[in-house]
Structure 1
């Protein structure tokens, strides 16, 4: 989405980076045929989601009201209206 800040927050970046590292760990251990390492990597993927959610609750994520999708139509001026 051009002109959108969707996902460009510390919470989003941190969660995605942690999940990506977990994905790489799981992939490495899957190729190495080590099930324990694979499941540990998937645990790191889940940890990324939890960390991102906690950071969002701490105020480091995007507030819901700032994105146009989350706005109620009645709160805005009609299209083309000059205010």
Structure 2
């Protein structure tokens, strides 16, 4: 682990957490719908996966990313 204040955050930002949670839900639902043979909902889950990436990008651009002005890293 790095004790440097210049540590990029390694995904410990609100933007990263939000994107990962949305994508994790999308993959979980997609897997469930694939198992239950519901192709329309599998594709909807794929769309939700893309939404997760877009939300993460948008939040990072809004300042909630690792180097954003609205994000303050927590000391460990």
TM score, norm. by length of structure 1: 0.71
Structure 2's unaligned 5+ residue stretches are 69-76
Runs of 4+ in 1 over 4 A off after TM superposition: none
Count of aligned pairs between the two proteins: 63
1:61 is aligned to 2:65: yes
RMSD of Structure 2 on Structure 1 (CA)? 1.4
Question: 2:60 is paired with a residue of what secondary structure?
Answer: helix
Structure 2 length-normalised TM = 0.77
Deviations, residues 3-48 of structure 1 (Å, cap 9, x unaligned): 2421000000000000000001100100011100100111111110
Q: Which residue of 1 aligns with 2:37?
A: 33
Bigger helix share: 1
Of structures 1 and 2, the larger Rg is shown by: 1
